[in-house]
Amino acid sequence: MASQDWFDKDFYKVLGVDKTASDAELKKTYRKLARQYHPDSNPGDAAAENRFKEISEAYSVLSDKEQRQEYDQVRAMGSGARFTAGGPGQGGGFEDVFGGMFGQGGGGQRVRFGQGGAGGFEDILGGMFGAGTAGGGGGGGFGQSSGGYRGFGGPTKGRDVTATTTLDFTTAIAGDTVKLSQGNGRPVNVRIPAGVADGQKIRLRGRGEPSPDGGEAGDLVVTVTVRKHPVFERDGQHLRLDVPVTFVEAALGATIEVPTLGGSTVKLRVAPGTPSGRVLRVKGRGVTTKNGTGDLLATVQVAVPSHLSDKQREAVEALADVLPDENPREDLLAKARD
């Protein structure tokens, strides 16, 4: 960053913070703005990219204790001061500012500040403000950036790491802690929350790759695959299953036992005349998540005997003779003709 910028740009205004803002306030504000204007979030938006560069440049200076002190002192010397060549008879330039400090008038011989090498501009300011010389190392000085997007702004976040894990149906519903192996061979324990769904991603902040320049580490993103269950099927927070009943149970009514996830059973009342497809509900026996607990939904399926003895066939035929003479498909046919 050219030294002139330190006079021309109000980095506090760029970030929208007060000059007394703490390091924590600066960091919080920068992260919010960086997420909003990052080029990855605004592809092809030149204005957003320029804004991202401005806030990154401002944070680069203000987040560094030594650079912030230098910046505040340079700005305090006079807003609007210019780094001009300062020809004969010209006043009001950068040399005039320092000329006044060193006891030299605006019209007299001016102090000249060179670029690079010992004795240059950075060396003079370094001596004034306690920073090292250009070749002496130490904290960052003028014109330095601290990494980040295209050389501007604060430290960059480390890369995210992805992983996958497969759970059985019951474990996914109950939640568990699984051990995964990272790319570097180190194991990592991942807490799987209760009620995780097939295909859901779990993000563990700071468990990814470290930042290359001292920023926060990336995240570990785990994609969960859930095996199918032979009886139960998930429907949001509900659990579904098909429950077979006999013709007699459906016709006359009955109390039946239905399994729940985990092995225990509950009793359900099947009302007389219950048809196939009717759903019976058991409150609170579904999936528990942070949003609440669902229900167990049992769909009745009337089981028809595939083999009948002669006596059984005679009994069914006798029943058919006494049942009302009606066609259960009559309404279906009528709707299809409309």
Three-state SS across the chain?
CCCHHHHHCCHHHHHCCCCCCCHHHHHHHHHHHHHHHCCCCCCCCHHHHHHHHHHHHHHHHHCCHHHHHHHHHHHHCCCCCECCCCCCCCCCEHHHHHHHHCCCCCCCCCCCCCCCCCCCHHHHHHHHHCCCCCCCCCCCCCCCCCCCHHHCCCCCCCCCEEEEEEECHHHHHHCEEEEEECCCCCEEEEEECCCCCCCCEEEECCCCCCCCCCCCCCCEEEEEEECCCCCCEEECCEEEEEEEEEHHHHHHCEEEEEECCCCCEEEEEECCCCCCCCEEEECCCCCEECCEECCEEEEEEEECCCCCCHHHHHHHHHHHHHCCCCCCCHHHHHHHHC
Residue 90: closest CA among 109, 107, 78, 113: 107
Q: How confident is the model at residue 296 (pLDDT cuts 50, 70, 90)?
A: very high
Long-range contacts of 36-43 (CB under 8 A, 24+ apart): 38/149, 39/149
Asked if pLDDT for residue 257 goes beyond 70, the answer is yes
**Residue 140 CA to its chain's centroid (Å):** 32
pLDDT of res. 183: 62
Say whether pLDDT at 89 is over 80.
no
- pLDDT at position 311 is 95
- Note whether 99 and 111 are within 8 A (CB): yes
Supply 175's token pair. 């939640």
The amino acid that residue 207 corresponds to is R
- Per-residue pLDDT tens over the stretch 276-287: 999 999 999 999
Position 185 scores a pLDDT of: 66
Residue in 50, 48, 62, 49 with CA at minimum distance from that of residue 15: 62
Residue-level pLDDT at 298: 97
Range of lowest pLDDT (43-57, 134-148, 288-302) = 134-148
Confidence band for 171, pLDDT divided at 50, 70 and 90: very high
Mean pLDDT value across the chain: 78
How do residues 211-255 score in pLDDT, each as one tens digit? 887 888 899 999 999 999 999 999 999 999 999 999 999 999 999
Residue 265's pLDDT is 94
Beta-ladder partners of 239: 234, 296
Are 159 and 209 in contact by the 8 Å Cβ rule? The answer is yes
What are the tens digits of pLDDT across the range 13-67?
A: 999 999 899 988 888 998 888 888 887 788 888 888 888 888 888 888 888 888 8
Q: Which residue has the higher pLDDT, 92 or 297?
A: 297
Please report which confidence band the pLDDT of residue 116 belongs to, taking 50, 70 and 90 as the band edges. very low
β pairing state of 176-181 and 233-235: unpaired
| pLDDT of residue 118 exceeding 80 | no
For residue 206, pLDDT over 60 is answered with yes
Structure tokens at 77: 């010397």
Residue 99, pLDDT score = 46
